[in-house]
């Protein structure tokens, strides 16, 4: 069975109604990202940060996976599917994908502010005073700007073992995630699905661009791979 590794970003979930991470003026849902997505922002105003992610969590409960998500789940019947996502939503899992690695954390989980290994499911609101068993405040299980990306090494392994690598709905301009495609083995084909694809630089591998949304582009990709790998 061939191995397909997919690197997915905000554009993957945009069709489901989840706003992309931030707009042109640097705001995320009307908030300065430095106030709601950095350790310093959390130290300055933890109540604001918790309320912001509570709103994101509530929004997530109102949306559903789109055709791009569900098609990837269906492709597990024919290929080994590795998903490495920059998204903090659970739409890949809700669609049925079984092998999802979240680079930037998960919205429906929280962790201790002192013990990074204490991570638990948390589907509802998180408030000041919600603590781990040792009485330490819980925080969103999100990788904020300036923090390490613990899942990065596993992501590199998933790219290295792939027979094809697919980029969906991301400009691949934000590091360290942007560097992942360069770990593909020589000769392994790359596919880039995005209605407004960015320029990918220094690509040594064969590259095919599919200038479509995920809901259109992923089914097209499946048909292409069936012909190549049949």
Positions annotated as catalytic residues are: 104
Q: Distance between the two ends of the chain, CA-based, in angstroms?
A: 10
Residue 83 CB neighbour total at 10 angstroms: 25
191: CB partners within 8 A, 6+ apart? 164, 165, 166, 167, 207, 208, 209, 210, 221, 224
CA 127 vs CA 23, 107, 122, 213, 214: distances in Å: 27, 14, 11, 36, 35
Task: Give dist(CA 52, CA 109) in Å, integer.
Answer: 15
Q: Which residues are CB-contacts of 91 (< 8 A; sequence separation ≥ 6)?
A: 12, 13, 16, 18, 63, 64, 65, 66, 69
In this structure, are residues 111 and 138 in contact, taking their beta carbons and an 8 Å threshold? yes
Contact 103, 151 (CB under 8 A): yes
**Cis link prior to 176 (omega < 30° from 0)?**
yes
């Amino acid at each position: 069975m061939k191995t397909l590794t997919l690197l997915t970003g905000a554009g993957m979930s945009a069709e489901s109604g989840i706003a992309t991470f931030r707009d042109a003026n640097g705001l995320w849902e009307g908030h300065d990202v430095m106030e709601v997505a950095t350790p310093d922002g959390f130290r300055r105003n933890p109540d604001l940060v918790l309320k912001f992610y509570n709103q994101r969590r509530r929004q997530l409960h109102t949306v559903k996976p789109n055709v791009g998500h569900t098609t990837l789940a269906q492709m597990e019947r024919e290929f080994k599917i590795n998903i490495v996502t920059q998204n903090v939503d659970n739409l890949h899992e809700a669609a049925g994908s079984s092998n999802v690695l979240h680079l930037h954390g998960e919205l429906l989980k929280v962790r201790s502010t002192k013990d990074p290994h204490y991570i638990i499911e948390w589907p509802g609101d998180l408030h000041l005073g919600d603590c781990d068993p040792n009485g330490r405040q819980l925080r969103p299980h999100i990788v904020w700007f300036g923090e390490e990306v613990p899942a990065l090494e596993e992501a590199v392994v998933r790219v290295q073992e792939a027979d094809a690598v697919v980029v969906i709905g991301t400009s691949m301009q934000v590091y360290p995630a942007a560097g992942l495609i360069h770990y593909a083995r020589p000769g392994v084909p790359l596919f880039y699905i995005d209605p407004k694809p960015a320029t990918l630089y220094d690509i040594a591998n064969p590259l095919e661009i599919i200038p479509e949304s995920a809901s259109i582009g992923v089914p097209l990709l499946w048909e292409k791979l069936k012909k190549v790998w049949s």
